[in-house]
Amino acid sequence: MPERPLRELTADELLAYETDGVICARGLFSDAWIDRMAHAVDRVVANPTFFGNVVSMKDQNFSGDLFVWKVDDDFRDWIYDSPASRVAQQVLGSERICHFYDQLFVKPPGCHVPTPWHQDITFWPVDVECRALCSIWITFDSVDRAGSGLEFVKGSHLWTERFKAVTPNYDPFMLDSDFADAPDIDNHRDDYDLYCPDMGPGDCLIFNPHVLHGSSSNYSTETARRAFSSRWSGEGVTYEDRRATMPLLWEHGLQTGDPIGGSLFPQILPHPIAEEGERRAQGPQPPEPATVKAVMSAIANRASS
């Protein structure tokens, strides 16, 4: 069973999550977890997964990766053993917690790749009005705004607009949706209640899937900005087969309207389900070449149509 966090979130933090859509929480994870995952991030950056090679921008030193837990044992253990699921359980107030997926965002010193302003929900193959999801973004370095600290528009999770998913490389596949462009926050910064806390290694941001957020280039010439998000789903989140959402490279067996769960989105709390984790427990599970081929050719067809 997952470990308990070093402390529970306070009532004030839980209230701020509801009103602002984001909180910065410190002191939840042990040094052992922080060290272990910092090393794991370095290893994955040096040996990206198939997905990592697709989403990284190697010529600009930006490394991204997704669903790393399927092939890397430290990331798998983060899901099953670390306190992250329990933190999500507290934030979402949900007894059942499934792991949704993990995503790396690594910007070495001088990596001039901003993350455009976006809402996460439109990236994901779920009903866009589902609220019982959260991300836990953990940094392994000291970050501030100029060092590509993640920045949020407080309260924007309550807006009714849904915006286009925009990736750091402006992937045309993701942009091919009917949602509106995100507002031009950077040129109207005074119009918004912006939040970008200075953070140290092991601090995390916990945020709502509808809150607008983004980050600048890493302007530091000395400090790397290594971070990853683990994303969690509570009760009532349903799968939706919608275009312009992140491709899923593993069979999941879900149809539109089904609750999130199963071998790609395993339940962790109140307890893991043996059959869901069975295949992964036997060893790394890279995607099947046939599934990758089918997904990549669907993307290429959309891009050219």
Ligand X SMILES: O=C(O)CCC(=O)C(=O)O
Binding site residues, ligand X, CB under 6 A? 103, 105, 115, 120, 135, 137, 150, 213, 215, 227, 229
Q: How far is the CB of 151 from ligand X (least distance, A)?
A: 9
Provide the minimum distance between the beta carbon of 304 and ligand X in the complex, in angstroms, as a whole number.
28
Rounded to the nearest whole angstrom, what is the least distance from the CB of residue 297 to ligand X in the complex?
27
Q: Cβ of residue 232: shortest distance to ligand X, in angstroms? A: 12
In the numeric block, the tokens 């890279």 are attached to 286
Burial class (CB in 10 A: 0-12, 13-18, 19+), 78: buried
Q: How far is the CB of 153 from ligand X (least distance, A)?
A: 13
CA distance 55 to 52: 5
Partners of 239 in the β-ladder: 126
Q: Which is nearer to ligand X, 98 or 134 (CB)?
A: 134
Closer to ligand X by CB, 76 or 213: give it.
213
Round to whole Å and give the CA distance between 227 and 204: 9
Cα-to-chain-centroid distance, residue 56: 15
Q: Which residue number, 49 or 216, has a Cβ lying nearer to ligand X?
A: 216
Which residues is 57 bridged to in the sheet? 62
Contact 154, 20 (CB under 8 A): yes
For ligand X, the closer CB: 227 or 269: 227
The DSSP annotation for 56-123 comes to -BGGGTBEEEE-GGGT-HHHHHHHHTSTHHHHHHHHHT-S-EEEEEEEEEEE-TT----EEEE-SGGG
Q: Which is nearer to ligand X, 104 or 263 (CB)?
A: 104
